[in-house]
Amino acid sequence: MARRENNSQRQFKVGEVVRHALASILERGQVRGLGDVTVTVTEVRMSPDLRNADAFVIPLGGGDGSAAVEALTRAKPFLRRQVARSVSLKYVPDIFFIADASFDEAGRIDALLRRPDVARDLERGRDDEDGGHGR
């Protein structure tokens, strides 16, 4: 069991190193095809063997990330070479770019929670928890 936890921790650490390397490369504006779009790498998840990396990206300020994913996918050979130069790993991972929808999902949930009918139900639930005596 401890071996599995160490493996997960190692995947997390390597993912963070790869994320920082990708962010640094993107910050320098070396990727063609992105135009004036600034891309943020929100997370990198490594496979257990550390040979594959799922890089979650989002355009700065939000919006549709599909164009950025396409541009980054076209630039994958260049990005892998740059990661290999900046990170010391036994194998350079194959990087798969994925548009990060977590911020959009968080915004959708926030909007739902702000709806008057939901806020009323949430308030009712709080009253029930404290015995209807208020705060």
At 89-116, the pLDDT tens digits run 888 999 999 998 765 555 555 555 666 7
Same domain, 34 and 12: yes
Task: Report the C-alpha gap between 3 and 10 in whole angstroms.
Answer: 10
Sheet with 52-59, strands from edge to edge, namely 39-46, 52-59, 94-99
Task: Report the C-alpha gap between 69 and 39 in whole angstroms.
Answer: 9
How many domains is the chain built from?
A: 2
Q: pLDDT grade, residue 77 (50/70/90)? A: very high
Same domain, 70 and 135: no
pTM score: 0.69
pLDDT of 4 higher than 70: no
3-state secondary structure of 104: helix
Same domain, 82 and 128: no
Same domain, 92 and 37: yes
List the one residue out of 62, 67, 59, 68 whose CA is nearest residue 106. Answer: 62
| Choice between 98 and 38, residue whose per-residue pLDDT is larger | 98
Could you tell me which residues are beta bridge partners of residue 46?
53
Most confident segment among 5-9, 38-42, 47-51, 124-128: 47-51
